[in-house]
Amino acid sequence: MAKKGDIFASCSFASLGLQSTLCDELRDKMGYEVPTLVQAQAIPVILSGRHVLVNAATGTGKTIVYLVPIIHHLQLYNPRIGRSDGTFALVLVPTRELCIQVYEILQKLLHRFHWIVPGYVMGGENRSKEKARLRKGISILVATPGRLLDHLKNTTSFVHTNLRWIIFDEADRILELGFGKEIEEILDLLGSRKNGFDSKENGGLKHSEYPRQNLLLSATLNEKVNHLANISLEDPVMVGLDDKKISAELPKPSHKHFGSLGSHSDEESEHPVTLRSCSDADYNLPSQLVQTYVKVPCGSRLVVLLSILKNLFEREASQKVVVFFSTCDAVDFHYSLLSEFQWSSDLQSGANQKQKLVSCKTLRLHGNMEQEGRRTTFQGFKTEKSALLLCTDVAARGLDFPKVRCIIQYDSPGDASEYVHRVGRTARLGERGDALLFLQPIEIDYLQDLQKHGVSLKEYHLLKVLDSFPLSCQKHHAKKFVSPEVHPWVLSLQKALESFISAEPKMKQLAKDAFCSWIRAYTAHRGDLKRIFMVKKLHLGHVARSFGLKEQPSLVGRSFQMQKKKTEQRQKGLSKKRKGPAKHEYAQSKRRKQ
Ligand SMILES: Nc1ncnc2c1ncn2[C@@H]1O[C@H](COP(=O)(O)OP(=O)(O)OP(=O)(O)O)[C@@H](O)[C@H]1O
């Protein structure tokens, strides 16, 4: 556990300038006694009306940073705001789950302020019901960008002439998912581009009497956020960014910015915001997070994953664990396998009784699931005391699942910022947490990539875990095995998995589909990471084994060869003229894939 003083400030919410009923609400309804450090730094600045960019570690309470000042101001409006006044604040988030999460926090915070109405619009929901809610009026609206743009264009009864705040939560992710164009259109439609703030009329839109205030928040920032900051923030204050992260190109100090403990410069500046590229900046990670990696040969990956999970839940039956995969198909395959695979325990205990290998409740979450299923999993994993969640990166950003003990990244994340957000689902608000990253021996240079961002990992003691499983028929304890591939436990479990999968047509199909999409995702690693995750170095037979397939199916081989050929052509620049659209398509498919 981190020390209290590393997370919480030594002041009260009231001392930040917040109205007393709201402070009572924070204490009584939310259980918050004092603000976190980032809340103490950012709330007074946001209350002052300045545009702000907040960069703070995962799980430090950034949601409250922007919601509370908005509620503070709205409850002071005299006469009280009503539903017919429409939307005053807009919170943009990258995923549906985050949309619901922010909305639920709002509901709690607004308990005593019933005249301020929260609401949300997002992909996957019923448009006409959303239209009806917008017609009635929503004071604080949480939205995913695509659906919001749809309503801005097509829902005439959506009143936003009083709009005062636009918040980009997980700003970098919104842009990475390819929503850049939508965001620019949204800013234009709302007349909220930089230099448009002071005019009362903009593009036919009547602005409220209050000046606009835009806020950007994330635990990681990238070059695209630079652009967004430049088009949406007017003379912003930086919270949580030290001089290392603000480009050295700028004359210093060029912005009002708060260092890690709130020191600030008073000089004003006309300079645009310039953040250092994420390729050379250190990331903020919770200091109490224990980070490890495990080096596993490709063909043993599946058995090692199952063994580690078995070990985790045997050591501590009541805990929550999240495993990240690169594709929806991989989530589905592992979910079915964990739910259905039963192993004869004669190898383990001498009794001939089949039982589930990992005995815990298993849930899955990915973007190809029906909205209702996504919602049920999301809510279920929040409330469960003990469960295993298998998911894609759709769960990597912003989601606040209480008491997650361990994060396993079975498939490597894209760039280092994704690593930071995935591991950020544990060790929140000073709690303890473990993170384990799977790497194949050929991928080990990824550690250097993380190191560049100040992230260093220790090696996980895999053999100790494998040795801990009783295999009565083998005397493996007497012998030391240096590689997991030849460990008797690994060999027998692999054999059992392969027999199970080959005997079950449904499982076999899931395994094949997962194999294909895993290869596609591996091929899609971008930029610098292609140097580490090289498809041509993969042994496809071993990849097949990692999906419990005895051999690489020929059909799969052909589709992979086609994929590989396309990639090689692209790398050689043969398809240069398709480069632009291809990038866009990648972003589109990324939104669907995760
Ligand atoms: N002042 C506070 N006192 C106690 N708990 C708090 C306080 N502020 C926030 N929390 C709790 O801290 C947890 C993390 O908050 P939140 O999800 O806003 O973090 P975050 O910084 O946005 O994380 P991420 O970067 O992962 O999105 C939540 O469970 C929230 O209820």
Q: Looking at ligand 1, which atom is closest to the CA of residue 13?
A: 1
Closest Cα to residue 459, out of 449, 474, 475, 444? 444
- pLDDT grade, residue 558 (50/70/90)? low
Q: Token digits for 592?
A: 């669907």
Closest C-alpha residue for ligand 1 atom 9:
61
- pLDDT grade, residue 484 (50/70/90)? confident
For residue 134, report the distance from its CA to the centre of ligand 1, in Å: 28
Q: Measured from the CB, is residue 139 less than 6 Å from ligand 1?
A: no
Tokens 């008797």 — which residue?
Answer: 488
Residue with the bigger pLDDT between 41 and 573: it is 41
β-bridge partners, 407: 322, 435
Closest Cα to residue 323, out of 341, 344, 337? 337
Sheet containing 165-169: order of strands = 118-121, 140-143, 89-92, 165-169, 213-218, 52-55, 237-239, 256-258
For residue 400, report the distance from its CA to the centre of ligand 1, in Å: 7
Mean pLDDT of the chain: 85
Render the burial of 284-293: b for 16+ CB within 10 Å, e for the rest.
bbbebbebeb
Q: Looking at ligand 1, which atom is closest to the CA of residue 65?
A: 18
Q: Token digits for 66?
A: 């922007």
Mutate which of 22, 99, 429 for ligand 1 pocket (most atoms within 8 A of beta carbon) = 429
pLDDT digits (tens, 9 = 90+) for 65-107: 999 999 999 999 999 999 999 999 999 999 999 999 999 999 9
User: In Å, how far from its chain's centre is CA 137?
Assistant: 30
Q: Measured from the CB, is residue 162 less than 6 Å from ligand 1?
A: no
Q: What is the ipTM of this complex?
A: 0.99
Closest C-alpha residue for ligand 1 atom 14:
59
In terms of Cβ atoms closer than 10 Å to its own Cβ (0-12, 13-18, 19+), residue 425 is buried
Q: Token digits for 249?
A: 């190109």
Contacts of 336 (CB under 8 A, 6+ apart): 506, 507, 510
Residue 582 has what pLDDT?
36
pLDDT digits (tens, 9 = 90+) for 35-64: 999 999 999 999 999 999 999 999 999 999
Closest C-alpha residue for ligand 1 atom 10:
61
**C-alpha–C-alpha distance, residues 458 and 367, integer Å:** 32
- pLDDT grade, residue 472 (50/70/90)? low
For residue 62, report the distance from its CA to the centre of ligand 1, in Å: 6
**C-alpha–C-alpha distance, residues 330 and 361, integer Å:** 18
For residue 59, report the distance from its CA to the centre of ligand 1, in Å: 5
Q: Looking at ligand 1, which atom is closest to the CA of residue 36?
A: 1
Query: What domains does the chain contain, in order, with CATH numbers?
Result: 13-194+211-239 (3.40.50.300), 289-345+354-469+483-547 (3.40.50.300)
pLDDT digits (tens, 9 = 90+) for 503-544: 999 999 999 999 999 999 999 998 889 999 998 999 999 999
β-bridge partners, 310: none
**C-alpha–C-alpha distance, residues 211 and 286, integer Å:** 36
Closest Cα to residue 161, out of 98, 262, 84, 275? 84
